[in-house]
């Protein structure tokens, strides 16, 4: 465990075995921390909080920039570690799992220095102060990116953090802790406890010393985390599942829309909350779209361009959905439930056609390399189908009709919309987040919204009883003859 600025053994002797999903070989072990370890980490964070909160934003920015530089220098090691514990192909690990978090950390180094922590409104001052100790619970699908997306804005805001990473990908979290130490962040500002979700994760969510819980993962687990944290009257952010769609209107560049859509689903083996796992196409060009999608699928060879899913349980889950799709009458165009390789947790990239809105594969999040193509007769039908989903993460529309694009932006119930482009890669200053069951806590991450979420407002209103009594040079916030 990395607690209070040093590596220390866990209180217990239990460990978690880390397995490479590509070949099922053991690549490491980490401590399975418990409530005692979480308590140690929270106490260390609370002790460090006053000093870090009082640190000028420019100095906090410099420390985050130093962290970014350490991560950048270790990108190759990060990529190899993610490939070892997540199974993603090394080129993807380099470009997305290593390079993207470095860019995000850099954006928060800039924001830490430029964010308006103090605003003047009339004769009032609004102070945006750090909310306190943050409990961050991160998923396995983007191991380092999700850590940086929670830890960096919290640090920028002046908070101290306790991180509980996913048990499938804890080695990347340990690398991050090493980078924090090398970057010279004060002891206790960042703490790492590895452990199982129902043990360490729950202990962190319910700990009385934690002021805010930020969780990314499945809707079912998020609901439990939210219930525990809310019962303790903590601020809660839950970034949950999705069932996003790619709506292709008549007249759009069909080949480009289909190829971009397939690439969106296949990225990270379909293990992305905002993946466009439904493709909605008008009846006239439906079969052409299916054929184009089938040709695009041929490029994604398991073990080469596409990696495995994260573990045996996830593989069984995805394959059960594929079997359900066949059972309910969807047309299997490419792939199927059979394992494409003898070793590793691989799933055959699977394309379903003739999918109807009532089918399970059209309604529930599969979180694997599975795409469903649905036929829609009108624009209105496509929007209604989209909005009928309980999820509202990201969506896209491909069209040459500017009026339809504008109408879609206004009518669709989703937190992110791409028009003839994928949803932007979350680097820089724009927000990222969903609506409805995809997000709880109104937490749009990245940019100013990301920093703001980890602050709490304090309004200070000042008026001297007699303006004449105020010391010379004091800004009263109103004219002296008022």
Backbone angles phi, psi at 70, to 5 degrees: -65, -45
Q: Are 139 and 217 in contact (CB under 8 A)?
A: yes
Asked whether the predicted pLDDT for residue 243 surpasses 90, the reply is no
- pLDDT value at residue 230: 79
Asked whether the predicted pLDDT for residue 311 surpasses 90, the reply is yes
Question: From the centroid of its chain, how far is CA 62?
Answer: 25
User: Residue 257: helix, strand or coil by DSSP?
Assistant: helix
Q: Which of 92-101, 215-224, 254-263 has the lowest mean pLDDT?
A: 215-224
- Rounded distance between C-alpha atoms, residue 296 and residue 284, angstroms: 20
Question: From the centroid of its chain, how far is CA 11?
Answer: 30
Sign of CA dihedral 245, 250, 254, 257: negative
In terms of CATH, what superfamily is 245-419? Answer: Aldehyde Dehydrogenase; Chain A, domain 2 (3.40.309.10)
**Res. 408 pLDDT band, cuts 50 70 90:** confident
Nearest by Cα to 385 from 352, 415, 408, 351: 408
Asked whether the predicted pLDDT for residue 205 surpasses 90, the reply is yes
Per this entry, what is the length of the chain? Answer: 482
**Res. 365 pLDDT band, cuts 50 70 90:** very high
Question: From the centroid of its chain, how far is CA 256?
Answer: 27
- Convert the pLDDT of each residue in 44-81 to its tens digit: 999 999 999 999 999 999 999 999 999 999 999 999 99
**Res. 414 pLDDT band, cuts 50 70 90:** confident
Spans of all domains in the chain: 2-240+438-459, 245-419
Look up the pTM and report it: 0.92
Eight-state DSSP code of residue 96:
I
Tokens representing 403 are 């009026």
Catalytic residue annotation: 239, 273
* 325: enclosing H helix or E strand: helix 312-327
- Could you give the percent of the chain with pLDDT greater than 70? 91
Q: Are 128 and 457 in contact (CB under 8 A)?
A: yes
- Could you give the percent of the chain with pLDDT greater than 90? 72
Alpha helices, DSSP H, located in 190-311: 202-206, 219-231, 254-266, 286-297
Mark 401-419 as b/e (b = at least 16 C-beta within 10 Å). eeebbeebeeebebbbebe
- Convert the pLDDT of each residue in 255-308 to its tens digit: 999 999 999 999 999 998 888 999 999 999 999 999 999 999 999 999 999 999
- Convert the pLDDT of each residue in 467-478 to its tens digit: 666 666 666 555
Asked whether the predicted pLDDT for residue 201 surpasses 60, the reply is yes
Eight-state DSSP code of residue 97:
I
Asked whether the predicted pLDDT for residue 43 surpasses 80, the reply is yes
Q: Which residues have a Cβ under 8 Å from the Cβ of 115 and sit 6 or more positions away?
A: 57, 128, 156, 157, 448, 451, 452
Burial of 148 (0-12, 13-18, 19+ CB in 10 A): buried
Q: Which residues have a Cβ under 8 Å from the Cβ of 374 and sit 6 or more positions away?
A: 278, 279, 280, 281, 355, 356, 357, 362, 385
Nearest by Cα to 382 from 361, 413, 422: 413
Higher pLDDT, 187 or 219: 187
Tokens representing 388 are 């009928």
- Convert the pLDDT of each residue in 154-185 to its tens digit: 999 999 999 999 999 999 999 999 999 999 99
- pLDDT value at residue 270: 95
- Convert the pLDDT of each residue in 103-146 to its tens digit: 999 999 999 999 999 998 888 899 999 999 999 999 999 999 99
Tokens representing 208 are 């009385």
294 strand-pairing partners:
none
Nearest by Cα to 142 from 271, 276, 264, 307: 271
- Rounded distance between C-alpha atoms, residue 249 and residue 139, angstroms: 34
Q: Are 84 and 27 in contact (CB under 8 A)?
A: yes
Q: Are 435 and 411 in contact (CB under 8 A)?
A: no
In terms of CATH, what superfamily is 2-240+438-459? Answer: Aldehyde Dehydrogenase; Chain A, domain 1 (3.40.605.10)
Eight-state DSSP code of residue 422:
P
- pLDDT value at residue 480: 47
Question: From the centroid of its chain, how far is CA 458?
Answer: 29
Q: Are 87 and 308 in contact (CB under 8 A)?
A: yes
- What mean pLDDT do residues 191-204 have? 96
């Amino acid at each position: 465990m990395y607690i209070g600025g040093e590596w220390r053994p866990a209180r217990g002797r239990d460990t978690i075995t880390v397995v490479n999903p590509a070949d099922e070989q053991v690549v490491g072990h980490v401590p399975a921390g418990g409530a005692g370890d979480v308590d140690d980490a929270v106490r260390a964070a609370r002790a460090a909080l006053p000093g870090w909160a009082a640190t000028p934003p420019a100095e906090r920015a410099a420390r985050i920039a130093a962290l970014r530089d350490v991560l950048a220098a270790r990108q190759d090691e990060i990529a190899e570690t993610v490939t070892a514990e997540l199974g993603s192909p090394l080129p993807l690990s380099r470009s997305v799992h290593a390079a993207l978090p470095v860019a995000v950390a850099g954006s928060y180094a800039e924001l830490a220095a430029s964010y308006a922590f103090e605003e003047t409104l009339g004769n009032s001052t609004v102070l945006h102060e750090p909310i306190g100790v943050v409990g961050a619970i991160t998923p396995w699908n983007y191991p380092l990116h999700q850590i940086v997306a929670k830890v960096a804005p919290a640090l920028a805001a002046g908070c101290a953090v306790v991180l509980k990473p996913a048990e499938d990908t804890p080695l990347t979290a340990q690398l991050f802790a090493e980078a924090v130490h090398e970057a010279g962040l004060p002891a206790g500002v960042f703490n790492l406890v590895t452990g199982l979700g129902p043990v360490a994760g729950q202990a962190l969510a319910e700990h009385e010393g934690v002021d805010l819980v930020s969780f990314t993962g499945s809707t079912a687990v998020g609901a439990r985390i939210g219930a525990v944290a809310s019962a303790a009257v903590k601020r809660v952010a839950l970034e949950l599942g999705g069932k996003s769609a790619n709506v292709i209107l008549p007249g759009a560049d069909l080949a480009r829309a289909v190829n971009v859509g397939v690439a969106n689903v296949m990225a990270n083996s379909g293990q992305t909350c905002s993946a466009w796992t439904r493709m909605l196409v008008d009846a006239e060009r439906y079969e052409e779209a299916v054929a184009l999608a089938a040709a695009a699928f041929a490029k994604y060879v398991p073990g080469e361009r596409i990696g495995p899913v994260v573990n045996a349980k996830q593989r069984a889950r995805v394959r059960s959905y594929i079997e359900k799709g066949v059972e309910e009458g969807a047309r299997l165009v490419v792939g199927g439930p059979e394992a494409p390789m003898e070793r590793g947790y691989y799933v055959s990239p699977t394309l379903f056609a003739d999918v109807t809105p009532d089918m399970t594969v059209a309604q529930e999040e599969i979180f694997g390399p599975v795409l469903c193509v649905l036929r829609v007769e009108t624009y209105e039908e496509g929007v209604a189908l989209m909005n009928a989903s309980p999820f509202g993460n990201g969506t896209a529309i491909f069209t040459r009709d500017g009026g339809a694009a504008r109408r879609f932006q206004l009518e669709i119930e989703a937190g992110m919309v791409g028009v003839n482009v994928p949803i932007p890669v979350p680097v820089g200053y724009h927000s990222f987040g969903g609506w409805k069951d995809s997000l709880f806590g109104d937490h749009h991450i990245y940019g100013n919204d990301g920093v703001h979420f980890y602050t709490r407002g304090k309004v200070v209103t000042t008026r001297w009883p007699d303006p004449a009594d105020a010391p010379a040079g004091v800004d009263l916030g109103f004219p002296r003859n008022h």
